[in-house]
Amino acid sequence: MASKLKICFFLFPLFLLQCYPLMANSSLFRKTYIVHMNYHQKPESFNTHHEWYSFNLNSLSSETLSSSESSSSSSSSSPSLLYSYSEAYSGYAATLTASEAEALRKNDAVFGVYEDTVYTLHTTRTPEFLGLDVAGEGLTAGDHLDASDVIVGVLDTGIWPESKSFDDTGMPPVPKRWKGVCESGPEFPRSACNNKLIGARSFSHGYKMASGGVMNSDDVVSPRDTDGHGTHTASTVAGGHVANASLLGYASGTARGMAPRARVAAYKVCFKTGCFGSDILGGIDKAISDGVDVLSLSLGGGSAPYFRDTIAIGAFSAIEKGIFVSCSAGNSGPTRASLANTAPWIMTVGAGTLDRNFPAFAVLGNGKKFTGVSLYSGKGMGRTTRSLYYGGNGRRNGSSNLCMPGSLDSSLVKGKVVLCDRGVNARVEKGEVVKEAGGVGMILANTAASGEELVADSHLLPAVAVGMKMGDEIREYVRSAGNKATAVLSFGGTVLNVRPSPVVAAFSSRGPNMVTPQIMKPDVIGPGVNILAAWSEIAGPTGLEKDTRKTQFNIMSGTSMSCPHISGLAALLKAAHPEWSPSAIKSALMTTAYNHDNMLKPLRDATDGSLSNPWAHGAGHVDPHKALNPGLVYDISIDDYVTFLCALDYTPLHRQIIAKRPNITCSRKLADPGDLNYPSFSVLFGKSRTIRYTRELTNVGAARTLYQVHVDAPPTVGVKVRPSRLLFRSVGEKKKYTVIFIARKGKTAPTTKSAFGSLLWTSKTYQVRSPVSFTWSPAM
């Protein structure tokens, strides 16, 4: 009998390590592979591509297998077809051994065979903050913008259909063009869907294969959401009005999604171990054929070439069918170049704060009072001070300072407030560790990695989160006071009209775009910190196993939360302008975004309070009102995206994988990837000091409107725009302009090797703004 090893996965959102048994020689055992077929090479003898894919898979004979495999009991089963893709991808997903995968690679009809990839989730007040009418259906009171014909597909952890956010009272019948279904399964009957939640599917083959068939006890193979994340994002996109919504009393008010009349279709592709590429492709594939108008994906992995990026490939197919695709940028900030989902046909969304906060206070024995945040909702500590313990003893060493599981000595902690450093394990898990060790409270102090950013959590014990500077003061107090250090914690509820806001969240992933540096990312930011939305009633608000509290709404933070805000706004724009392409909707949201806070000062970064830049906030924070009537848009056709692919250093096969077109000749190609008609500019000065880009604007505003260009650039760069004035005589008219960026001779490049500016077209009514980033290569 072969010896057993274990394969381990980190579980979202608590980063608990789950291990599954795996035989010693894993090469003999089956894994999920995605097989890319030459779609246009299907023999006429097969009626469908599915038949062809099945034949291709079954053609694997025992001769292709090694003698060791053929004699292994674990390889006795045949390859299994998991998914046959028809819309999002040209090919299928199957369980294969390494030798079978290699055999398929030698097949002339097979372009490539790739091992499945795991992606992760990027985990009330927002309508008012965005200027939407809370009681109405659209952007402002009385506009009656009806998005009931718009269908939003949400790829996530599933949905809790009983949530009041998905009540279909007053909703008209389901659009006749809808082809989706409501899949029944464990704890999810077909009757769970209605005229609001019009479709629900589950995709778990990749997950089950990766877990070796040993599923997490909380996971259900049906559209039922046992995690909460999917319900939260779906209700943020298009949840209906729910009065008296709150998380255990916090953020009380009327909850509604961005597009409360839009329809929701839930595609469960994520489980406790993550989201597998084969399942994601399956979800996108069905969403396209079902007939969604908007796709919202609050998930992603690292950056990779587009031909190896499952989400980018699936999104390209969606865009080709006129579907707007919005994805989260990732939660790896403030690290430079940490973005996910950077393809230009995807709307890449970062996160900012709201003007709402949940203050909490820590008063030390020396009389100093520190203000932080918390969503703790229990009895509290009262006014009695308690001893304050810090495992790092002011030196941040060991693991007890991080309050990792098993790191705290209960004899030292019992009855005390514990100071914990933020990082490594989940914030709410630290509180659980303190409580289990006998602590009565926690101060969660940021380190340099999180800076001054504060994220509120619904802890299991009294807890206050503070920034790095306050944290350093408290650490120093414990070091100097020793055993005499004391603290008492208290909580201030919900506070509105916080200034400044928005502020760019420190966790929001940053540019530049390392896949295609000539395309600036992220595109925009939206509300993503302390967002209240619907929740799965089977999961506690922290997601911890020992959290038995139940709530219909929860408050979460992440680009997972900002992404569905933009998806919902896209649904509203789709309802208002059904003729607009996905790129026109993206352009409207980008060129009308604002770059100032509610104090009319430039946007700042929560990491350290410094000024933000377009690598953090993209074009700026979305402004739905202005996006509804942007004046001009930068439109991009699917052929333009193919031309963009021709400008990349890709092989013909790579381009065909993405575009699913045979014989892409690239007879028309861009001189530079940055010449794509994108609403922003990313200028790279390398061998050449002069960069020339051409853009085309389409008039979606009033006829006979004259625009004048205004340029903001650093002194090291000269900018010429020709022409500098554009007169649009009719609606729908298109006009081109050329902008020339020149790295000035005699001017030294900035020591940071990067700088930022903007290009603005203005009329008496409209302002159409594009951010510009400048980067100098080391050679200069």
Quote the distance between the C-alpha of residue 19 and its chain's center: 26
Query: If you search the block for the tokens 């790295």, which residue do you land on?
Result: 743
| 145 C-beta neighbours (distance < 10 Å), count | 17
* The pLDDT of residue 669: 83
**Overall average pLDDT of the 505-533 stretch:** 96
Q: If we measure between CA atoms, which residue out of 353, 313, 305, 308 comes closest to residue 297? A: 313
Are β-strands 91-96 and 31-37 bridged in parallel, bridged antiparallel, or unpaired?
Answer: antiparallel
- How far is 763 from 730, CA to CA, in rounded Å? 15
- How far is 627 from 630, CA to CA, in rounded Å? 5
Would you say residue 298 has pLDDT above 50? yes
Would you say residue 114 has pLDDT above 80? yes
Contact 385, 280 (CB under 8 A): no
DSSP assignments along 22-78, one per residue: EES-GGGS-EEEEEEE-GGG--TT-SSHHHHHHHHHHT--GGGS-HHHHT-GGG-SP
Neighbouring-strand partners of residue 504? 352, 605
- Which DSSP helix (H) or strand (E) runs through 21? strand 16-23
Cβ within 8 Å of residue 129, ≥6 positions away: 354, 355, 356, 501, 502, 527
Residue 493 pLDDT level (bands cut at 50, 70, 90)? very high
End-to-end CA distance of the chain: 62
How is residue 750 annotated by DSSP? P
**Overall average pLDDT of the 77-100 stretch:** 91
Q: If we measure between CA atoms, which residue out of 355, 356, 123 comes closest to residue 247? A: 356
Residues carrying an active site annotation: 156, 229, 560
Within a 13 Å sphere around the CA of 399, how many CA atoms are in the beta-carbon half? 10
* The pLDDT of residue 307: 94
Residues of the chain above pLDDT 70, percent:
89
Encode 553-574: b = buried (16+ Cβ within 10 Å), e = exposed.
Answer: bbbbbbbbbbbbbbbbbbbbbb
Q: Among positive and negative, which fits the CA dihedral 68, 72, 76, 82?
A: negative
* The pLDDT of residue 211: 81
* The pLDDT of residue 126: 55
Cβ within 8 Å of residue 320, ≥6 positions away: 638
| Assigned token pair, 632 | 């001009």
The mean predicted confidence, pLDDT, of the chain is 89
**Overall average pLDDT of the 512-534 stretch:** 96
Poorest-confidence range of 61-70, 724-733, 753-762?
A: 61-70
| Assigned token pair, 515 | 């896949």
* The pLDDT of residue 124: 47
Contact 243, 254 (CB under 8 A): yes
* The pLDDT of residue 30: 85
Contact 529, 508 (CB under 8 A): no
Would you say residue 342 has pLDDT above 70? yes
Would you say residue 369 has pLDDT above 60? yes
742-345-569 Cα angle (round to 5): 110
Strands (E), 146-216: 151-156, 197-202
Residues of the chain above pLDDT 90, percent:
77
Would you say residue 66 has pLDDT above 80? no
What tens digit of pLDDT does each residue of 414-451 get? 999 999 999 989 999 999 999 999 999 999 999 988 88
Residue 746 pLDDT level (bands cut at 50, 70, 90)? low
Task: Determine the number of helices (DSSP H) and then strands (DSSP E) in the chain.
Answer: 17, 39
* The pLDDT of residue 1: 35
* The pLDDT of residue 12: 31
- How far is 424 from 404, CA to CA, in rounded Å? 8
Ramachandran class of 253: left when φ > 0, alpha when ψ lies in -120 to 50, beta otherwise? left
* The pLDDT of residue 418: 97
Would you say residue 128 has pLDDT above 70? no
